[in-house]
Amino acid sequence: MRRLIAMGCILIAVIAALVTVPMAWVATHVADEDGYVSFSAPLGSDHELQSAFAAYLSDELVREYHLPSAVQPAAAVAITRASRTASNAPGYTKAWEETQRRSHRLVFGQDAKQDRLAVDVGPLATFTVTHVVNLPVTLPTINGSLIVAVNAGPESGAIDQVKATPHRSRIGLIVIAVAALGALIFAKRRSNVLVWLGVGAIVVAGVLRLASSHLVPSILDRTEAPSPFARTLQKLLADRASDSLGTWLLWIAIGGAVALAAGVLLRTASGRPSPQA
């Protein structure tokens, strides 16, 4: 009976980890404002995103600020150049960070009313425009917000699910810890529990890595983007998320390998080669 309970606890821990690890990643890198700012920081220096943003901004200036359409090609080139040079200018990091904070509050803040993913590029647009040179006209100053929809359809349900991840991931971590502790308490041989927990961690890392490598591109393909800039942002965020989660999974796999090796060594030292818990 003790062996059966121990194996049941190990199974619960593994199943809970399969659900909890992705939720904990979302809670850390998406639901949390500081976590999101840190997560999105590397995108600020991406040339592809800078070019897409420059094209969007020049279109926006023509449409909303009545910039002559004849100036648009030159404006796009100048804004693209400014986007790239401004990324090394003092104040760019602050403008990018403020853009990310505003965007997070816009969607996930306490007073957020957005029903879909969107970014507020106002700070970045203002900073970029001030660095544009060699144009025959003066670009208008952008004050306040400049909201860009990232996806076309409503996503209020998904947004609510993201907001709930901190609480749910804490519950999941408690379940994992209690189940692992229960396995150690009820098992006749704790070294075998380490082996199975290690194997479980490796399986969790492998399954989640395989799932994310197929699921993320599939979701991206089905998500409609209202603009080329939104599509570029979607792609870069998805790639960044895949790499970040992959790092988590690598450490989980390493931890599992360490637990597995420790269990095998302890079992060998005790002279009990049985793999049963």
15-53 pLDDT, tens digit each:
999 999 999 999 999 999 999 999 999 998 888 888 888
In this structure, what token pair is assigned to residue 31?
A: 């639901």
What is the Cα–Cα distance from 104 to 240, expressed in whole angstroms?
17
* pLDDT at 277 > cutoff 70: no
* pLDDT at 203 > cutoff 80: yes
In which element (H, E) is residue 147 found?
A: strand 147-149
What is the identity of the amino acid at 268? T
114-155 pLDDT, tens digit each:
788 889 999 988 888 888 877 777 777 777 788 888 887 777
pTM summary value: 0.86
What is the Cα–Cα distance from 155 to 112, expressed in whole angstroms?
13
SS3 276: coil
Please say whether the beta carbons of 242 and 213 come within 8 A: yes
Tokens 């603009």 sit at which residue? 227
What band does 220 get if pLDDT is binned at 50, 70 and 90? confident
